Chain A
Amino acid sequence: MRTRTGLTYVELLVTVVITVIISGIIVVSLSGGFQMLKNKELDSRAMSVAQTQMERTLARGYDYVRNETGEQSWIDGLKTFWNISVSPEETRMLQGKNTPDFRKIPYKNITVTAWYDRVAMEGQSPGQRALRLTAMYPYPEVHLSRQSYHCPYPPSAACKVANYPASDDPMTEYQYPRHPGWQHVVPRSKIEVEYAVEKDIQVYYCVSVYPEALEGIPPTDAIHTLLLFDEVPYGLTEYGGWAPIQSQPINCQKITIPNVKPEQKHTIELRWFRHGEKNTFYLRDLDMTVFATEASR
């Protein structure tokens, strides 16, 4: 009886053919792996672009965020495109409806979209893919506005302060606006504000002068300052506050303005004059800071 102990020729050929087919399948699948790798790297880049743009937008002030479009170029010549969309929204407090306590709470919705061209996979068209991040930017609780002015040394004529003689009746003589001495600091020290919610404002200001000559300054020589809120004297009455130059060449004041109405333009203005007729004085520095916080009720 005859027994077979080895492969026949046909079996060997069939084995080779099957091996070639299987290796071809493996090679094709591994090639597809590189395309998936590249697409995942493009995804990673798009995410880094979107996160960077979101961080950049949130670092800007609430009033300065706006719609923007741009692109990020990479060394390999590819580009990732990005778009920032800002939409103002508002929500309401859940309690206190139809009462004076009911407040709206404004915020901005920020959407960052990053898109790029994908690498074409086998049998598919390349196409574009978009990545979207959203964030809520709440209305700031604190607002800060500032105006400052410095007269360089040696001073120019623009910084010279006019003299106004003393009066026997200062309560009527120095009333605003009748007294001609009330003037703006050079340049106009006026800040305009507008808030979306009711705010309490604190105004800090300092006015400093220096004399042309240090000797012979009478003790009655003074700096008068007046703060106007919406063109009406505020805080220290219409006569303003005053400080003798001899002992206080720097005059600083703090004035609080509560419950400033929202969604209206308001002006905060500083006026001053120098009371005295001897010596020549020049403005040195002016600094006015408006610090607004949410109104406490």
Chain B
Amino acid sequence: MIDEKKRLSQPGPRSKKAAKAFSLIEMLIALILLPSVAMAIYWMTMHTAHQVSLYMERFNMHTQISNTLQDISLRCTSAVEIDNETSFSGYEPEELHNFKFRGQGNIFNITPEENSDDIWYEYYIKCPSGQRCPDGLRGALMIRNVDTGTERVLIEGKYQADVVFRFTPAVDGSSEEPMSPNFFKVHVTTHSKRKNLFGVSSTVEKIQGVRFWFIDVVKRR
């Protein structure tokens, strides 16, 4: 027993001190495993955060598009006059990227016979290309009060919005969907600059049909 105690106190592979430390192989394996696990955890965290931000961004895009289409639908329905430059000829399919009309100041109190409370509105894309523009507003879909000049952002500029107002007349022999003179289709598109993941498209787009109560969108010239 005294020999055993003496042996354990001496340095060597079977000494007590040696039993408390890692061997070289264990150190090497640990050096490889721990960074791998740390990288895996880091990648998962970044991946999850990226997906969360992607979901949030798409939610914002969908929300802004829905609000825009609802705004267009509510204001255009009770419009009483359309600007000549943004009306359709009615002879062939046409597309416009802005739309200017005179509508109700209060869309929940419609008074078509009263002109004093009407406002000229315009839907347009801010600084579409090649123009000086305030940061963040280039490519934004805006609604403007033409009388006062005030404008409001419907879709943020970072989504590079595009809006198309389309009218297709009824033409014999045409395969295009015919529309009544008091109806047109609005197509709103937004683009995300984020990197795609798993095949999700970078664009979000929606269409909506708008029927006018009091006027036609077609002005035959």
Point out residues on A near B: beta carbons under 8 Å: 9, 12-13, 16, 19-20, 23, 26-27, 30-31, 33-35, 37-38, 41, 44-45, 48-49, 51-56, 58-61, 68, 70, 72, 74-76, 119
With contacts A37-B200, A75-B205 known, is A60 near B185, CB below 8 A? no
Task: Report yes or no: B44 in contact with A45, Cβ–Cβ below 8 A.
Answer: no
B26 / chain A contacts, CB cutoff of 8 Å: 9
Distance A110 CA – B200 CA, assembled complex (angstroms): 34
- Contact of B179 with A48 in the complex, beta carbons under 8 Å: no
Q: How far is the CB of B177 from the nearest CB of chain A, in Å?
A: 5
How far, in whole Å, are A41 and B203 apart by their CA atoms in the complex? 11
Contact A51 B208 (CB under 8 A): yes
A52 touches B205 (CB 8 A): no
Evaluate contact between B207 and A33: CB separation under 8 angstroms: no
**Best-surrounded residue of A48, A55, A70 (most CB of chain B within 10 A):** A48
Chain B residues with CB below 8 A from A37, complex form: 55, 58, 200
Are A33's CB and B51's CB within 8 A? yes
**Cβ distance B141 to chain A, nearest Cβ, rounded Å:** 16
Q: List 16 A-B contacts (CB under 8 A).
A: A12-B30, A34-B51, A41-B58, A41-B62, A41-B204, A44-B62, A45-B205, A48-B206, A51-B208, A55-B211, A56-B180, A56-B185, A59-B209, A74-B203, A76-B201, A119-B199
Q: How far is the CA of A9 from the CA of B47 in the complex (A)?
A: 30
B208 with A52: CB separation less than 8 A:
yes
- Contact between B207 and A34 (Cβ–Cβ < 8 Å)? no
| Cβ-defined contact, B209 with A53, below 8 A | yes
- Is B48 located at the chain interface by the 8 A CB criterion? yes
In the bound assembly, the distance between CA atoms of A51 and B73 in angstroms comes to 13
B 77-102 contacts with A by CB, 8 A? none
B155 to chain A, nearest CB (A): 15
The majority secondary structure among interface residues of chain B is: mixed
- Cβ contact of A72, chosen from B62, B189, B204, B207, cutoff 8 A: B207
Find out whether the CB atom of B198 lies under 8 angstroms from the CB atom of A35.
yes
A221 to B73, CA, bound (A): 56
- Interfacial residues, chain B to chain A (CB-CB below 8 A): 26, 30, 33, 37, 40-41, 44, 47-48, 51, 55, 58, 62, 175, 177-180, 182-183, 185, 189, 197-201, 203-211
Bound-complex Cα distance A34 to B205 (A): 17
Q: B58 contacts A16, CB within 8 Å? A: no
> Chain A residues with Cβ under 8 A from B179's Cβ?
56, 59
CB distance from B164 to the nearest CB of A (A): 11
Complex CA–CA separation, A34 to B58 (angstroms):
11
Instruction: List, in ascending order, chain B residues with CB within 8 A of A58's CB.
Output: 211
Secondary structure dominating the interface of A: helix
User: What chain B residues lie within 8 Å of A35 (beta carbons)?
Assistant: 198-199
Q: Which residues of B contact A53 (CB under 8 A)?
A: 177, 209
Q: A27 near B47 (CB under 8 angstroms)?
A: yes
Q: Using Cβ atoms and an 8 Å threshold, which residues of chain A touch B208?
A: 48, 51-52, 55
**CB closest residue in chain A, given B30:** A12
Find out whether the CB atom of A59 lies under 8 angstroms from the CB atom of B58. Answer: no
Query: Does A34 contact B199, Cβ atoms closer than 8 Å?
Result: yes
Q: Which residue from A19, A48, A60 sits with its C-beta under 8 Å from B207?
A: A48
Which residues of B are found within 8 Å of A70, using beta-carbon distances? 175, 177
Given contacts A34-B200, A37-B200, A119-B199, contact A52 B47 (CB under 8 A): no
**Known interface pairs A55-B183, A56-B185, A59-B180; A76-B203 also in contact (CB < 8 Å):** yes
Expressed in whole angstroms, the Cα–Cα distance for A51 and B211 within the complex equals: 12
In the complex, chain A residues whose CB is within 8 Å of the CB of B182: 59
Shortest distance from the beta carbon of B64 to any chain A beta carbon, whole Å: 14
Smallest CB–CB gap between B11 and chain A, Å? 20
Contact A60 B180 (CB under 8 A): yes
Residues of A within 8 A of B175 (CB): 70
